[in-house]
A and B are shown apart, each in its own frame.
Chain A
């Protein structure tokens, strides 16, 4: 195993949230790949049953069960790192409920009967916090699960959590359930789950793009979690960043379109005047965009959490792209 300090040594459960459209699932998958090295075993959990993970890894829909889905990269340059394994699990509340009944009452068959009666739907409906507790419960259970030899089954667990707007409620399980259940089995279960989530073993990472609304939601989400005692805020992952093509100074003093036209002619292009005007417009827009990105980045930096930046991948996300993003996360110390 490579001895290499990362920003989150000691964290076993990585919760990843972000506003819709920021690429939360992609980042969770890249983080799982990044963590899977040195023979480590990582579980990537999808909380919302969208089968986004299966699509990312180009697999058929995942059943409710832990399946090996990818192999981590290892360290190509030293040859001693054998890579690691990424397992995936798509949780649905029903499956999590059956697990819960099995774990605590050894009553999976009774659970199946309840499912047929529609009672699972009913139970999660009359106790709105119940599905969240069951899902977070499954995630904390996998993070703490021990093998026969005594070591942990998974070295890390990455949870692709609900979007930023709902993550506070999702993670604050004991508070959510306490409104409903002051005593009883679910309450006890929720308290156990809460102890893991509010421990240094868990970190909540936020995915944002450099746009105003996602940044605002990220800052609101961080503020919300900071109000919950014991909750550890992780890093901020800036996703789909578009690097500036020129320095800030160059962008401030762009040459006249006529100068661009001359250069375009030198490059062997035709209709250089109209083309130069169009490119000048694109450059000016790029400059405005860079300015906006810089402003939003400053806002995110003010939160005081480590920041990781992932580039926009214009070709779309496939396995190669995930590996590229995973390498970025490793290089920047996130894993």
Chain B
């Protein structure tokens, strides 16, 4: 079957599956009207295909077989999961297959912080109209719950929240729909850790939608860790809007899933907003790690720093397509892009693509993109000191990711991530000893 016919068949199936379950979907999470709108919008736009420029590197095949109705969360006992160690001072909220799991959570009262669930989240305020964000429409239509985080007022210390999304059901049992709404009121501060993991070895199908609003002068530090299971398909759409003088530090580490696609859309809507977007992605075996990031400079004097470090080993494909658009009114924009890919296997694939669209004068935009192999001189230097080729290579891969990992300001989280990365790169203990 051709891709377009398959695509049409999948679109029909989305509509049918929606019709079958719509009565049971919680109206408190997304209203019936909004859900219907989302289904219609998706039907009008169609599902993406790999012929679409910004979906070229995505593995869209899992959509053909996916069951779009939400997985019925069968809440297990807390002991059923090896949850990561709790981070000190963080309120923890756990969701299983997109539904709040109170017994796994450890809420904590913090000044100015409101975290709401189950099923009382408000609708996402902006239905992102970006074509690249269209898979979030599936989340909009089928959502089962929302983690709604609201931070008010200027307090000395930032609020601290950790969200853990566990995918449990296999794809044949339905999709897991993590959904997050983050709002920072003017001058407020939040450190948010968002993790995505799988329980068991099931082939989960996850479709995540995150909406972020950073108010005037507010400051959000957001760590996103995609550690889904080895057979999982993970689709993700994050939309963020920054008000004047807002600061948003978004750092993503993507190591999990068999096929992952992450779409990030940030709008610099207020003058003087600042964004640091850092992504590290690791692919091995048959993994596909596809990332698309669009940063739109709408207001003047905003700054963006975008970094990507990706490593592809085995037969993996790791892609980062980073676009910065500077609109007419965005004079004084300062943007920097540093995208680097490392090819660590003869059958692996790396695609890094910086794109720049500028519609105004008086901007400073720089970009650098490289894709290459391990440096032979560095490798020989390490061998000449007695290190084995395996350890030397691992060490250089490690060093390559450091540019991103070193930006993690929470020591405990950084150690957890370093262990995860070390584990991803090898089981040998020789590298872990440096942690």
Query: Do A and B share a complex?
Result: no
Query: Which residues of A are in contact with B by a Cβ distance under 8 Å?
Result: none
